[in-house]
Amino acid sequence: MTDLLPTARSGPALLIKGAPAEDTAHAGPTVARGTRRRLGPGRAVPFGRLIGPVLLVALWWAASASGHLDPRILSGPGSVLSTAADLVSTGRLQDNVLISLQRAGLGLLFGVTAGVVLAVTAGLSRSGEYLLDGPLQIKRAIPSLAMLPLLILWLGIGEQMKVTVIALGVAVNMYINTYASLTSIDSRYVELAEGLDLGRAQFLRKVVVPGSLPGFFVGLRLGVTSSWLGLIVVEQINATSGIGYMMFQAQQYAQSDVIIVGLVAYGIFGFASDAGVRAIERKVLSWRRTLAG
Amino acid sequence: MATHPGGLITTAPPAVRTTRLVRRFGDRVVLKELDLTVAPGEFTALLGRSGSGKSTLLRAVARLDHTVEGSGELVVPERVSLSFQDSRLLPWLRVLDNVTLGLRGPGARERGLTALEEVGLAGRDRSWPHELSGGEQQRAALARALVREPELLLADEPFGALDALTRIKMHGLLRELYERHRPAVLLVTHDVDEAVELADRVLVLEDGLISVDLAIDLPTPRSRRDARFQEYRDTLLTALGVAQPPLPTTG
């Protein structure tokens, strides 16, 4: 126990470790050295977030180069790279990536818009809350992907269905988090706005929107992740294009390297979009002081 | 404009007039047909024990008590500013944007800068609220209240959360700003010394009615060591039902 508290209690710790008892026991008041135990995470390292992913790739490389990795199960980074180069030179990768990005982007756009409009409506008016919040909380309990059979029945298997599935997942994430943040805006700020005779529009712009931005960004990050998830699923249902379709085809021809290229593409886009949202969040919410700095 | 001790002599329409004002929370009647008149430019302090209805009265005059039951007549000017115990600056707006929040018309920015300068925060307009000290935040809140050129300033224990040294400085600043702009002031406080030092009229609220209405006839700036200051203070403490301590206490 005492070993866990080194600096502040150096006196007693020394005593227990068997130092001459008489000398330290009456040495007067305990002297603390250095600064106190740090409880926050400490200073940030530039690009520190990249260390984990880079390490993972290095491990993969090492395992495959040393022959520990059977290429029939998982191709090495080298062959994946050359396959990727082939796919790029034929234009197959770009075409598929572009169509996937379009689906995810459209789904995200519609989902974010719908989620935010619903959250603001439910958060600012009682009737909105009573009409919208219940159904949306129920919808939250049903995974969007579970709605797939119904959506295929209604919308067919075309682009419309694909974008709708993605948008649904995004919208629920956006709604839940934006609504939670919006309804927890300090009532004292509402009172302030009333005291300053702010109009509806100004109240929205100066109090409601900035006050619910933290939740909006939490929702956006979850929404971006869920849009990739939705994309992967819908692109394996009767698709004729997209990264998912490319991977599905590769599965039938047992091309694990093409599958890896697809996975890496998903991974890169997922990571990049999350990092993008994070960067915007840091900039927009610069007024906040948090544990992470 | 001269002050009118007790608000007795005035030709202009009053800044505040409540007639038989009643406010109740459930069965508990907090304000019992309260009549109050505050003259334009009059600095009035409102004392009372906790639960006496000070804040209820202030919120009624501020017309912020949407959900409170009540009756009675209330006349207040058009331009009313509020200041609270917490500075209530929006953390996502820079100091200047906080000060000019809700301000309409051209020149809002310049007026905001002038107000900041007046409260001693020149050059801090681009700061975030959390970068200011507690006293500076309260100064910014004061600038936000003053930039509207209020005819009535309602202040709910604006110095309650400040340390003793900062509070002394803020007393001086508030009195100085009051003398320059001359709004009517209704200052809710629990600090008798603060009331006597700042206000020209001190009211004591007791059981939903005004039990004491005392004009403070002392030149400003006032010294707490003045014998008459002590007299006013003792009178008010007695009215508040507090045994008078032999030595003045701080805070």
**Chain B partners of A213 at a C-beta cutoff of 8 Å?**
92
The CATH number of residue A184's host domain is 1.10.3720.10
Range A95-101 average pLDDT: 91
Q: What is the extent of the structural domain holding A1?
A: 1-37
Domain assignment present for A67? no
Give the model's pLDDT for residue B96: 96
Give the model's pLDDT for residue B196: 94
Q: Is the pLDDT of residue B171 over 80?
A: yes
Domain match, A29 and A150 both:
no
Q: Is the pLDDT of residue B2 over 90?
A: no
Interchain pair B128, A191: CB under 8 A: no
Average per-residue pLDDT in chain B? 88
Domain match, A22 and A125 both:
no
Residue of A nearest to B146 (CA): A196
Domain match, A111 and A236 both:
yes
Domain match, A29 and A137 both:
no
Residues ≥6 apart with Cβ < 8 Å to A134: none
Q: Is the pLDDT of residue A23 over 80?
A: no
Interchain pair A198, B101: CB under 8 A: yes
Name every residue in B having a CB less than 8 A away from some CB of A. Answer: 62, 64, 81-82, 84, 86, 88, 90-93, 101-102, 128, 130, 144, 148
Chain B nearest C-alpha distance from A203 (Å): 9
Range A131-160 average pLDDT: 89
In whole angstroms, how far apart are CA B168 and each of A147, A176, A267, A289?
65, 47, 60, 30
Give the model's pLDDT for residue A155: 92
Asked whether this complex has an ipTM greater than 0.90, the answer is no
Highest-confidence segment of A61-65, A166-170, A229-233, A236-240: A166-170
Domain assignment present for A202? yes
Of A1-5, A51-55, A233-237, the least confident: A1-5
Give the model's pLDDT for residue A10: 43
Domain match, A14 and A105 both:
no
- pTM, two decimals, is 0.74
Give the model's pLDDT for residue B244: 62
**Chain B partners of A287 at a C-beta cutoff of 8 Å?**
91-93, 128, 130
Closest CA to B186 of B26, B76, B27: B76
Average per-residue pLDDT in chain A? 85
Amino acid at B129: P
Domain match, A90 and A19 both:
no
Domain match, A8 and A137 both:
no
Domain match, A19 and A148 both:
no
Give the model's pLDDT for residue B108: 92
Range A254-281 average pLDDT: 90
User: In sequence order, what are the beta bridge partners of B31?
Assistant: B23
Note the pLDDT tens digit of each residue in B10-52: 456 888 999 999 999 988 999 999 999 999 999 999 999 888 8
Domain match, A13 and A148 both:
no
Domain assignment present for A63? no
Chain A nearest C-alpha distance from B167 (Å): 23
Give the model's pLDDT for residue A71: 78
**Region class of B50: left (phi > 0), else alpha (psi between -120 and 50), else beta:** beta
Domain assignment present for A45? no
* pLDDT tier, A41 (very low <50, low <70, confident <90, very high otherwise): confident
Q: Is the pLDDT of residue A17 over 50?
A: no
Residues ≥6 apart with Cβ < 8 Å to A49: A275
Domain match, A180 and A258 both:
yes
Note the pLDDT tens digit of each residue in B107-131: 999 999 999 999 999 999 999 999 9
Number of domains in chain A: 2
Q: Label residues B214-237 b or e (16+ Cβ within 10 Å = b).
A: bbbebeeebeeeeeebeebbebbb
A289 closest CB neighbour out of B81, B93, B130: B130
Residue of B nearest to A211 (CA): B92
Residue of B nearest to A195 (CA): B82
Q: Is the pLDDT of residue B142 over 90?
A: yes
Of A63-72, A80-89, B55-64, the least confident: A63-72
Domain match, A7 and A135 both:
no
Interchain pair B88, A196: CB under 8 A: no
Give the model's pLDDT for residue A237: 80
Give the model's pLDDT for residue A26: 55
DSSP string, B15-81: SEEEEEEEEEETTEEEEEEEEEEE-TT-EEEEE--TTSSHHHHHHHHTT--TT-EEEEEEE--S-EE
Distance of alpha carbon B206 from alpha carbon B238, whole angstroms: 13
Domain assignment present for A65? no
Residue of A nearest to B155 (CA): A195
B102 closest CB neighbour out of A197, A213, A289: A197
A195 closest CB neighbour out of B62, B90, B91: B62
- Three-state secondary-structure class, residue A161: helix
Range A279-289 average pLDDT: 86
Chain A nearest C-alpha distance from B223 (Å): 34
Domain assignment present for A157? yes
CB pairs under 8 A between A and B: 41
Domain match, A124 and A176 both:
yes
Give the model's pLDDT for residue B12: 64
Domain assignment present for A196? yes
**Chain B partners of A191 at a C-beta cutoff of 8 Å?**
64
Give the model's pLDDT for residue A15: 46
Domain assignment present for A55? no
